[in-house]
Amino acid sequence: MAAPASKTIGDLSGKWTLNKTLSDPTDPALALQGIGWLLRKGIGAATVTIVAKQYVDDAGTSHIDIDQSASGLSSTHEARVLDWTGREHKDWLFGKVEGKSRFITAAELASFVAEDGEARKEGWVDSAFLAEDWIENQEGEGKGPKGETNILNHVKAEAGWFATQVWGFQDIGGERRYVRNVVVAKGDTFESFKMIYDFNE
């Protein structure tokens, strides 16, 4: 179902299920990330659910803890700290990675993916896709601490690939949905896709 008005980039807490009918296929990106054919088929057949807990610690830093499960497969846990500091993480699916996350405004995102922006300077390919199709949250409550409308995530893997994601809300078929625009790159090859979620509770 569509995201209720109470769910914003400032409060993603809840249970979300990947809507595979609305989303783009993830198989090409998983192949680029070195995931084998049999496991990719298992992921493709599974129901993927995330349970998110978003909160601010005593120091005023925002966190998003995410437990992701795929039916018939092992679950994964992510502890994202939105301070744009690289932190190592390791799980059974992607191995060892270093990730960083932060809130970002629409203007900052446009600058980030511009020809002379940070993404281009770092060689992140197809970065313009990351800034496409976002709608701003409602006025007032629910945005990031400085009025941000999206969350930016970047991961570099020991296996040699990079993944950049922008999280936020988009109009999908006339419904407001939680969406992740994702670009996975390795060398000169990249895959861009949308992950579109149903809100469960």
Tens of pLDDT, residues 88-146: 988 777 779 899 999 998 888 888 777 666 766 665 666 788 989 998 654 444 577 77
What is the C-alpha to C-alpha distance for residues 86 and 84, in angstroms, rounded to an integer?
Answer: 6
What is the C-alpha to C-alpha distance for residues 43 and 156, in angstroms, rounded to an integer?
Answer: 21
Residue 187: pLDDT over 60 = yes
Rounded (to 5) percent helix, strand, coil in the chain: 15, 45, 40
- ∠162-181-38 over CA atoms, to 5°? 60
CATH for the stretch 14-199 = 2.40.128.20
Return the minimum-mean-pLDDT range out of 31-35, 138-142, 187-191: 138-142
What is the C-alpha to C-alpha distance for residues 80 and 86, in angstroms, rounded to an integer?
Answer: 10
Q: Which amino acid is at 96?
A: K
DSSP 3-state of 129: helix
Q: Which of 50-54, 133-137, 162-166 has the highest mean pLDDT?
A: 50-54
Q: What residue ranges do the domains of the chain occupy?
A: 14-199
Spatial neighbors of 123 by CB under 8 A, at least 6 apart, are none
Spatial neighbors of 87 by CB under 8 A, at least 6 apart, are 81, 98, 99, 100
